[in-house]
Amino acid sequence: MAAFVAGGLCRAFGALLLSSVPRRALPLAPQAGQPLGGWLTAALRGLSGSAPLCTNDPMWKCRVKYTVRPVGMKKTGGRDHTGRIRVRGIGGGHKRRYRMIDFQRLRYEKGAPPEPFTEKVISVRYDPCRSADIALVAGGNRKRWIIATENMQAGDLITNSPRIGRMAVSANEGDAYPLGALPVGTLICNLESHPGKGAQYIRAAGTCGVLLRKVNGTAIVQLPSKRHMQVLETCVATVGRVSNVDHNKRVIGKAGRNRWLGKRPHTGLWHRKGGWAGRKIRPLPPMKSYVNLPRVTAQE
Amino acid sequence: SQGVRQAQWLTKTKLVEGLPPPVLSILQDPAHQLEGYEEAVRRAVSHARFWSTTEVGPNREHYCPVLFEDLIHLCRTMAAKYPSLTKRMLARNYRIAATWERESILLQVRGLNGILLNSMSPIPPVASKEEILATEEHVLETFYPIYPTIDLQEVNVYKELNDTGKSSCFKDGYPYSHPHTLFFLESANVRTDRFRPEQLRGKMLMFAFGNALAKAKLLYGNDPKVLEQPIVVQSIGTDGQQFQFMVFQLNTTDLLSSDGIKNLVWIDSDQNLYERALCVPEIKKKVVMRPAGIHGFQPDTFKKFLALYLHGAV
């Protein structure tokens, strides 16, 4: 009884720890030597050397400072914090290092005014953690990784602007503008639902959304699933399709390639398919609105 | 890939490809050759790459400093002909600190330098007056939209230090007070810990500039001005196989604005002393493709090394 209560308390304490430590502060003292040693040696190493291939540190995601260098990842294998499999079919695969992508295009440097600025694309490379390619861009005093668009090459100049003028801007591919500044009908990607939140939609390889219409202060975008989405016109999106357009045309070729990607095989047991299978023909779901419009109620 | 260009902007320097005319004349003068130097250099390379340890192939941490010591020893044997060469001293683990302002941004060079060769007398200026005045029209290139201070570590400056290790290494009255040549040995074993050639050239430029600036402030005071006697510092960087030669001339300490007289640097980059040094013969399908030994030996690289060493004394 006492042991059961103690076990429950420990688990609760563990959950508290994981959720409430957002920064990589002093690691708790006598835990495993591994995370402590890795953090200290990395700090003492200074500017030289390269990042480790993978870490055993369960808090590798809690890094606060942005860095361009790839960060070692710890694979979950589909297991959640209790240790049991939550998602089937994940495990194994090539080691990956995570490159911290900046999804908020309009992020200004420390001490920079909130004005339009340009950046130069230094290189475009493959990212093992996503289907799209990523681009290293540099502007001012900093470098960051962003999702590359279709025809982005090294040496391009891209602009990021927060201004919405009266006339629509003729945007070049790869630039980031608020939706209110773009002409209706442009193909966009890396869309955010609330201004300043960071891009969460249309990030996969080859996808693009279409700006359908602009209605007094909001804009309506068609997502790649043909769903309509209404957002404030100050939300920033990049122009163009996401890179790596032929991603869906690739042929896996063999079972081994799927295992390299970290996908474990399905079960071989034959199931009769139920109501979930087969082609469905139904009307589009209603438009999703992320705008809190004041409810217009008929008042007497 | 922009190492040297960024260093040029930060130090207000104009780049000239190849070595300067005085050094080239030392190079071509047959009186300054070392007899039998080719054989001696081959011996030095073999010693460093094959014979310096009991293992089959010594790693870079081992052979890079050994090669450097052997080459310096060969250069020093010329002291029999030119006695002024004896008035030089090598300093290791030498710490440099120099501060300057560049368009309202305070920059500084700090840290362990490498190996410094000091001499009692300074090197005479390498560029003529006309060349120095011609740099006035040269425009420093900018990297819009990137600032030239990108990738530099931001630190809080508490003391603006400007010394050639005065507080730690060289007291006043040290006879060998003029920096002559800096040597940079990239001897890390792992390729990612070594600097790439263009990064190495950028590092050489920054440290040569730091040394020259510290010496200038020592001689002429802290006010920014154009120097009538430009200060010349040379620098050689290597990773055991490839050599980068650089001659830097400090013409002005007025670095606040981007126009006016600029400093000059002559760079001769990517000079291989040898292409490959095989410890075991390369065998494919039981046929020896290349025997063990040094391949692609280029004695010219050592001649340039020697010319830079003799510069200032002949």
- In a shared domain, residues A95 and A105: no
Please indicate, yes or no, if residue B71 is contained in any of the structural domains: no
- In a shared domain, residues A226 and A121: yes
Residue A20 sits at φ, ψ, to 5 deg, of: -100, 5
pLDDT for the residue numbered A23: 36
Amino acid letter for position B84: S
Lowest mean pLDDT: which of B82-91, B164-173, B175-184, B230-239?
Answer: B164-173
Residue A15 binned pLDDT confidence (cut-offs 50, 70, 90)? very low
Last residue of a domain, one of A62, A80, A100: A100
Q: Contact, A251 vs A213, CB < 8 A?
A: no
Please indicate, yes or no, if residue A264 is contained in any of the structural domains: no
Please indicate, yes or no, if residue B312 is contained in any of the structural domains: no
Q: Across all residues in chain A, what is the average pLDDT?
A: 81
Which region, left, alpha or beta, applies to residue B201 given φ > 0 means left and ψ of -120 to 50 means alpha? Answer: alpha
- In a shared domain, residues A128 and A224: yes
Last residue of a domain, one of A206, A222, A248: A248
Please indicate, yes or no, if residue A140 is contained in any of the structural domains: yes
Give residue ranges of B with CB < 8 Å to any A CB: 143-147, 149-151, 153, 192-193
Whether residues A118 and B145 touch (CB distance < 8 A) is answered with: yes
- In a shared domain, residues A129 and A107: yes
Please indicate, yes or no, if residue A261 is contained in any of the structural domains: no
Look up the domain containing B210 and give its range.
Answer: 3-18+91-293
Chain A nearest-CA distance from B194, in A, is 9
Q: How far apart are the first and last CA of chain A?
A: 63
pLDDT for the residue numbered A152: 92
Chain B touched by A140 (CB under 8 Å): yes
Lowest mean pLDDT: which of A212-226, A237-251, A286-300, B296-310?
Answer: A286-300
Look up the domain containing A146 and give its range.
Answer: 101-248
Q: Choose the closest CB to A141 out of B144, B149, B193.
A: B149
- The pLDDT tens digits of the residues spanning A181-207 come to 999 999 999 999 999 999 999 999 999
Chain A nearest-CA distance from B44, in A, is 31
Q: Contact, A147 vs A132, CB < 8 A?
A: yes
- The pLDDT tens digits of the residues spanning A235-267 come to 999 999 999 999 999 999 999 999 999 999 999
- The pLDDT tens digits of the residues spanning A82-110 come to 888 999 999 888 999 999 999 999 999 88
- In a shared domain, residues A234 and A126: yes
Angle subtended at Cα B183 by Cα B182 and Cα B185, rounded to the nearest 5 degrees: 150
pLDDT for the residue numbered A43: 41
Please indicate, yes or no, if residue B118 is contained in any of the structural domains: yes
Q: Contact, B27 vs B245, CB < 8 A?
A: no
Q: Across all residues in chain B, what is the average pLDDT?
A: 83
Please indicate, yes or no, if residue B98 is contained in any of the structural domains: yes
Q: What share of chain B is helix, strand, coil (3-state, %, to 5)?
A: 35, 30, 40
DSSP per-residue string spanning B35-85: TTHHHHHHHHHHIIIIISSSSSS--HHHHHHHHHHHHHHHHHGGGGT-GGG
Last residue of a domain, one of A73, A100, A127: A100
pLDDT for the residue numbered A47: 46
pLDDT for the residue numbered A21: 33
User: Which chain B residue is nearest to residue A138, measuring alpha carbons?
Assistant: B146
Q: Which CATH number characterizes residue A229's domain?
A: 2.30.30.30
Whether residues B150 and A157 touch (CB distance < 8 A) is answered with: no
Residue B52 pLDDT exceeds 70: yes
- In a shared domain, residues A201 and A138: yes
Please indicate, yes or no, if residue B185 is contained in any of the structural domains: yes
Q: Residue B16: enclosing H or E segment and its boundaries?
A: strand B13-17
Chain B nearest-CA distance from A2, in A, is 54
Please indicate, yes or no, if residue B50 is contained in any of the structural domains: no
For B10, the token pair is 């930060």
Please indicate, yes or no, if residue A82 is contained in any of the structural domains: yes
Q: Contact, B108 vs B97, CB < 8 A?
A: yes
Domain count, chain B: 1
CA nearest to A160, candidates A102, A212, A237, A234? A237
> Rounded mean pLDDT of A211-222?
92
Query: Would you say the pTM of this structure is higher than 0.90?
Result: no
Please indicate, yes or no, if residue A198 is contained in any of the structural domains: yes
- In a shared domain, residues A169 and A233: yes
- In a shared domain, residues A196 and A121: yes
Task: Give me the helices (H) in chain B, please.
Answer: 3-11, 21-28, 37-46, 60-76, 129-134, 197-220, 299-310
B49/B299 Cα distance (integer angstroms): 17
Residue A19 pLDDT exceeds 70: no
A74/A96 Cα distance (integer angstroms): 9
Residues 101-120 of A with CB under 8 A from B: 117-120
Amino acid letter for position A237: A
Query: Cβ contacts (< 8 Å) between A143 and chain B: which residues?
Result: 150-151
Query: Cβ contacts (< 8 Å) between A49 and chain B: which residues?
Result: 192-193
Q: Residue A257: enclosing H or E segment and its boundaries?
A: helix A255-260
Residues 6 or more apart whose Cβ sits within 8 Å of residue B285: none
Chain B touched by A51 (CB under 8 Å): no
Lowest mean pLDDT: which of A30-34, A237-241, B186-190?
Answer: A30-34
- DSSP reduced 3-state for A224: coil
Query: Cβ contacts (< 8 Å) between A97 and chain B: which residues?
Result: none
> Rounded mean pLDDT of B74-86?
83
Could you give the ipTM of this predicted complex? 0.78
B231 by Cβ neighbours in 10 Å (0-12 / 13-18 / 19+) ranks as: buried
Q: Which CATH number characterizes residue A64's domain?
A: 2.40.50.140
DSSP per-residue string spanning A4-64: HHHHHHHHHHHHHHHHH--S--SPPTTS-HHHHHHHHHHHHHTT-S---SB---TTGGG--
User: Which chain A residue is nearest to residue B195, measuring alpha carbons?
Assistant: A48
User: How many residues are there in chain B?
Assistant: 314
User: Which chain A residue is nearest to residue B190, measuring alpha carbons?
Assistant: A49
Please indicate, yes or no, if residue A5 is contained in any of the structural domains: no
Give Rg (Cα) of chain B: 20
- The pLDDT tens digits of the residues spanning B264-282 come to 899 998 899 899 888 888 8
Please indicate, yes or no, if residue B100 is contained in any of the structural domains: yes
Query: Cβ contacts (< 8 Å) between A141 and chain B: which residues?
Result: 147, 149-150
- In a shared domain, residues A111 and A215: yes
Residue B151 pLDDT exceeds 90: no
DSSP assignment letter at B208: H
Domain count, chain A: 2
- In a shared domain, residues A117 and A88: no
- In a shared domain, residues A63 and A77: yes
